[in-house]
Structure 1
Amino acid sequence: MFPYQSGNYPIPNPYYRFVSQGQYYNPYSDTGWPWWHYPIESKGSYRYSPPQLLTFVLVHGSWADAHFWDGVAAELRSQGHTVYTPEYAGHGSDPNKKVTHAMITKSVVDYIKQLNLHDIILVGHSFGGTVIQKVAEQVPDRIKRLVFWDAFVLKDGESVADELPPQTRQGFEQLRTMSKDDTIMLPFELFRALFVNTASTEDAKLFYKSVSPEPAKPLFEKLDLKAFYALPTPKSYVYFYQDNVLPQGEGYGWNPHMSTRLGLFRLIVGDGDHFTDTRTRPAYLALKIYEASRD
């Protein structure tokens, strides 16, 4: 459904010495330093880590479906990883938009159980962060690590709407009222400015063709997350600093506002926005997810 280009950003071969920073500026490191490198032995040579093959379950967010991950999943599989991309209630081929957050969570839990998946890296994007929070409560013994990519990490008793700036929330409420089936459809101008702000106009229009109305109710449901915050599951956060969906600072944003709620966590940063890189640079995004997921 989503055409993509593999680009020139493959997940590094484990025997490469390092990946150069290249054209991607990282505001969290000194100019000229690589984003990461392998530890150096006493004689100055790099110590190489053996490849680690992982099992990923990638959970999409709002205004998307399982095809959101097509390019990223293909890149991860090309490296030998096992990848699953469940599609949850109210999305994709499901015509029923009158779903609840519990129904969405059950979709993913049932998927994991039916395939008898264990030792998984459970990845959530955007709204999908709230989904993996609730999924983790139900199948903690099957999860190796939780990875949140520019994803909501709600506090106990919060809804996604509680974390939106007042103007954005009011806009969503108006769009919800205007719909005939309790959904929210993003106008192109809003999608362009917030979700694909680094894309070309042509790509933005192409991406928008995949957007469908989002069930509104789950975005406004307050979630009981006491069990989630008692879990010892390892956690990571992938933060793309050009993501414009939430304003950075003033009590909003992905990192550190959301990420630090995870307690002890691994932080991986990148330079993309909310949607674009899944289509235009899937290998680059796959790399960042892998960095967040490996031991």
Structure 2
Amino acid sequence: MANFVLVPGAWLGARAWEEVAAELRAAGHDVHPLTLSGLAEKRHLPAGRRTHVRDVVEEVERLGPGEVVLVGHSYSGIPVGQAAALIGDRLARLVCVDSNVPVDGESFVSAWPEGRAMVEAAIADNDGWWPPPPAEEYAGQGLSDEQVGRIVAGATPHPGASLTEPAELARPLAELPATYIKCLLDGEVPPPEVAELVKGGHWRLVTMDTGHWPMFSRPRELARVLLEGAPA
């Protein structure tokens, strides 16, 4: 059995994975949801891009010997992808859940040209933090009012430096065993850089008929997809 390290996206902490973690544990796996520095219960800690990569690598090291499945949602695909390139044969599989992926020399905002000015302005207006979106911005993502409420209640401002600092890849992502989960209510086509990775043969593309936060909207289905790529 592998260790699963589950990393939430922007604004959220480890509790976002509660339902998925329960399903994975019921299947006999060890599961370690991880809150990144500067967020949720760790919001007092300063954080940038390197901090978040280190958070993931240190969690893998803390677990001791054995393979790990690294799972990153949304923003956290960037630090998780960089960490996956650093941990060598400890990596059983990288799973990117409707996420960004790191591109060497580029940041989260540089990979999002249509929203870069908006995000950078929001960070500047909020003392270096990206404020979480209001409840109405979760519409159309397959979420119930209760699920939206849980997301909003658990969200904290995201450290802006982690969004603007460029990624550094120790190894090409195309060489890593990986699964990319595309959530169709958030767009039917994966990012161009993901499409290129899938062509390389080591990456597998899976779709889910739900929105951008499947750990809330479809936790059982998401757990099943994660289990498909886990070591027996």
**TM-score under structure 1 normalisation?**
0.70
Question: Separation in 2 of the partners of 1:230 and 1:58?
Answer: 19
Structure 1: tracts of 5 or more residues without a match: 1-52
Letter in 1 for 2:224: L
**What is the Cα deviation at residue 158 of structure 1?**
0.9
Question: Separation in 1 of the partners of 2:133 and 2:92?
Answer: 38
Q: Which one is further off, 197-206 or 260-269?
A: 197-206
Question: Separation in 1 of the partners of 2:84 and 2:154?
Answer: 29
**What is the Cα deviation at residue 230 of structure 1?**
6.8
Q: Rg larger in 1 or in 2?
A: 1
Q: Residues 71 and 258 of structure 1: is their aligned pair in 2 closer, same or farther, counting only changes over 3 Å?
A: farther
Alignment of 1:200 onto 2:144: yes
User: Which of 95, 120, 128 pairs up with 1:173?
Assistant: 120
Matched residue, 2:172: 229
Q: Which has the higher helix share?
A: 2
Identity across matched positions, percent: 29
SS in 1 for 2:5: strand
SS in 1 for 2:182: strand
Give CA deviations for 1:152-210 in whole Å, capped at 9, x if unaligned: 113221111012142x2222122112213x101133156324xx622234542342111
SS in 1 for 2:20: helix
**What is the Cα deviation at residue 132 of structure 1?**
1.6
Question: Separation in 2 of the partners of 1:209 and 1:129?
Answer: 23
Question: Separation in 2 of the partners of 1:260 and 1:174?
Answer: 30
Q: Residues 165 and 177 of structure 1: is their aligned pair in 2 closer, same or farther, counting only changes over 3 Å?
A: same
Matched residue, 2:192: 257
Matched residue, 2:97: 149
Contact 1:236–1:293, Cα closer than 8 Å, also in 2: no
Q: Residues 169 and 60 of structure 1: is their aligned pair in 2 closer, same or farther, counting only changes over 3 Å?
A: same
Q: Which one is further off, 67-76 or 168-177?
A: 168-177
Give CA deviations for 1:91-121 in whole Å, capped at 9, x if unaligned: 2222335311111111121121122142111
User: Which of 102, 120, 123 pairs up with 2:71?
Assistant: 123
Structure 1 vs Structure 2 CA RMSD: 2.3
Alignment of 1:109 onto 2:61: no
Contact 1:266–1:292, Cα closer than 8 Å, also in 2: no
Q: Which one is further off, 210-219 or 111-120?
A: 111-120
Matched residue, 1:161: 109
Q: Residues 178 and 110 of structure 1: is their aligned pair in 2 closer, same or farther, counting only changes over 3 Å?
A: same
SS in 2 for 1:93: helix
Matched residue, 2:181: 238
Alignment of 1:74 onto 2:18: no
SS in 2 for 1:162: coil
Q: Residues 89 and 212 of structure 1: is their aligned pair in 2 closer, same or farther, counting only changes over 3 Å?
A: same
Number of equivalenced pairs? 229
Alignment of 1:279 onto 2:216: yes
Question: Separation in 2 of the partners of 1:106 and 1:72?
Answer: 24
Question: Separation in 2 of the partners of 1:256 and 1:185?
Answer: 24
